[in-house]
Amino acid sequence: MPMLEAALENVRSHRDRHLEEYRALLMIPSVSTLPEHREDVLRTAQWLAGELGRLGMERVELFPTQGHPIVYAESLRAPGRPTMLVYGHYDVQPVDPIDEWVSDPFGAEIRGEYVYARGASDMKGQIFAQLKAIEALAAQGPLPFNIKYLIEGEEEIGSPNLPAFIDAHRELLSCDFVLNCDAGMHAPDVPSIVYALRGLAYFEVEVQGPAKDLHSGMFGGSIRNPIHVLCEVIAGMHDAQGRVTLPGFYDAVRELDADERAQLAQVPHSDDAWRALTGASGLYGEAGYTTVERVGARPTLEINGIIGGFTGQGAKTVLPARASAKISMRLVADQQPDAIEGQLRAYLEARMPDGVSWTLHEHSKGPGAIMDRRSPYMKAALGALKEVFGKEPIFKREGGSVPVVGMMQQRLGVDSIMLGFALPDDGIHGPNERQYLPNFFKGIEAYLRFMLAL
């Protein structure tokens, strides 16, 4: 495989330059949520567009949106060969709490085997490694596959403009599969592929009792306290086995088969370590499932926030007018968010007593996603990881949600290969975010091997 050897040689001989270019990208503070960084976000998009042009893409375009632009590029010179759509985002989270950073979040300081910067791991490191793999391949001649890029600038604010963009450009974005680089590995010595993500259905329920806050001495005992009602309703949402009681909640859940359970049992995990990591005094969850299964393969319902009445310092004898809770369900295939909303409403209708009124407000809805573990693309990814890391990769399910994966399944009808080299302790979204540099360099090689194996 002379092309592979030559490309690997190319990659290995340019590590210093790759690192300096990566650091230059990290130094642009592309914080999408802060208006004062608007120009920086645009500059990052332009930087990527320039890079993509330099790599020989036939078309490079910044598509404006109501927010930050979407970077699109394509190279379609391999007729009959697969077309991959590379997904990434070039925006980053805010840096607060700034006081806890050891070095400038946009200084990209190298300490030990890490580079420290906001966005280093999430996800400039990943998308940049993929670009360097293309650079090494393009240096050998025409790409032996077709490639498109969709790199958005609003992932950290919930991709508000992405669904409409995809819908308006389905032809442009058509592909055989998505290479989603917004991904990571289980540990530096445990190569892994996430093949399933949980969806999310997030609501807020508000219970209204009296018209305004009342004195709990004068009125207490004679009318419904909305906090009591809310607590009773929430308490009823789980049974004694830790199962969610919304009517029909498990009907659409794709159950684990023996094969998949055996694979998940391979995921390195220790309940003791999990307890230490969370600081909880004990673990808990749905009866009949392991911790790995509970967080990856089973749907859950969590109250993310609750508030009602007087919550300041000290004591106030108030019988409150209202109380509210944020309720989110993590969904697995094939639960549909709209059906879940219907179940939640049915549950609330049945449980809310006289003497209060209530409303349910939707915050977000996205389905879970599960990918075929036996597809040729998955095999190519597994092979690349095994070559680079010298170990058989494991299959993982992820408890969190990557909405774009479900979005691509729903709107373009394609699966995503989650291939990235972030690590769980990179500190994404927190202070001192970092990228483990050995993984960055191995990542370039893995992307390279993956694409050549298609």
**Among 310, 334, 392, 438, which residue sits at the site for a second copy (rule: CB under 8 A)?**
310
Q: Does 320 engage in binding with a second copy (CB under 8 A)? A: yes
Q: Does 250 engage in binding with a second copy (CB under 8 A)? A: no
**Of residues 97 and 279, the one with the C-beta less far from a second copy:** 279
**Of residues 332 and 453, the one with the C-beta less far from a second copy:** 332
CB contact at 8 A, 121 and 428: yes
**Among 35, 354, 374, 390, which residue sits at the site for a second copy (rule: CB under 8 A)?**
354
**Among 18, 37, 89, 330, which residue sits at the site for a second copy (rule: CB under 8 A)?**
330
**Of residues 309 and 431, the one with the C-beta less far from a second copy:** 309
Structure tokens at 361: 């407000």
Q: Does 306 engage in binding with a second copy (CB under 8 A)? A: yes
**Among 239, 251, 302, 392, which residue sits at the site for a second copy (rule: CB under 8 A)?**
302
Q: Does 288 engage in binding with a second copy (CB under 8 A)? A: no
Q: Does 323 engage in binding with a second copy (CB under 8 A)? A: yes
Three-state DSSP state, 169 = coil
Please state, in angstroms and rounded to a whole number, the distance separating the CA atoms of residues 346 and 415. 33
**Of residues 54 and 316, the one with the C-beta less far from a second copy:** 316
**Among 164, 168, 303, 346, which residue sits at the site for a second copy (rule: CB under 8 A)?**
303
Residues 6 or more apart in contact with residue 249 via CB below 8 angstroms: 299, 301, 335, 340, 343
Q: Does 430 engage in binding with a second copy (CB under 8 A)? A: no
Report the alpha-carbon angle 30-175-181, nearest 5. 35
Q: Does 160 engage in binding with a second copy (CB under 8 A)? A: no
Structure tokens at 230: 């809310």
Cα dist from 352 to 114, 242, 436, whole Å: 53, 22, 51
Nearest CA to 201 among 341, 405, 349, 348? 341
Contacts with a second copy in 180-199 (CB under 8 A)? 198
**Among 23, 124, 298, 322, which residue sits at the site for a second copy (rule: CB under 8 A)?**
298
Structure tokens at 28: 């642009």
Minimum distance from residue 306 beta carbon to a second copy (Å): 5
**Among 87, 202, 249, 347, which residue sits at the site for a second copy (rule: CB under 8 A)?**
202
Please state, in angstroms and rounded to a whole number, the distance separating the CA atoms of residues 31 and 119. 9
Please state, in angstroms and rounded to a whole number, the distance separating the CA atoms of residues 87 and 149. 6
Minimum distance from residue 203 beta carbon to a second copy (Å): 9
Nearest CA to 218 among 97, 70, 319, 79? 319
One character per residue 257-286, x = contact with a second copy (rule: CB under 8 A): -----------------x---xxxxxxxxx
Q: Does 355 engage in binding with a second copy (CB under 8 A)? A: yes
Minimum distance from residue 159 beta carbon to a second copy (Å): 14
Cα dist from 435 to 29, 220, 364, 396, 447, whole Å: 16, 56, 30, 21, 17
Contacts with a second copy in 207-236 (CB under 8 A)? 209-212, 214-225, 227-228, 230-232, 234-236
Q: Does 135 engage in binding with a second copy (CB under 8 A)? A: no
Q: Does 294 engage in binding with a second copy (CB under 8 A)? A: yes
CB contact at 8 A, 236 and 265: no
**Contact range with a second copy by CB under 8 A, out of 68-76, 80-88, 297-305, 415-423:** 297-305
Please state, in angstroms and rounded to a whole number, the distance separating the CA atoms of residues 18 and 30. 20
Please state, in angstroms and rounded to a whole number, the distance separating the CA atoms of residues 330 and 367. 9
**Among 316, 350, 379, 413, which residue sits at the site for a second copy (rule: CB under 8 A)?**
316
**Of residues 64 and 220, the one with the C-beta less far from a second copy:** 220
Three-state DSSP state, 46 = helix
Contacts with a second copy in 364-393 (CB under 8 A)? 364
Minimum distance from residue 175 beta carbon to a second copy (Å): 27
Contacts with a second copy in 92-121 (CB under 8 A)? none
Q: Does 318 engage in binding with a second copy (CB under 8 A)? A: yes
**Of residues 214 and 385, the one with the C-beta less far from a second copy:** 214
Ramachandran region, residue 116 (left: φ > 0; alpha: ψ -120 to 50; beta: rest):
beta
CB atoms within 10 A of CB 5: 10
Three-state DSSP state, 123 = helix
Q: Using CA of residue 16, residue 18, residue 22, residue 25, what is the dihedral sign?
A: positive
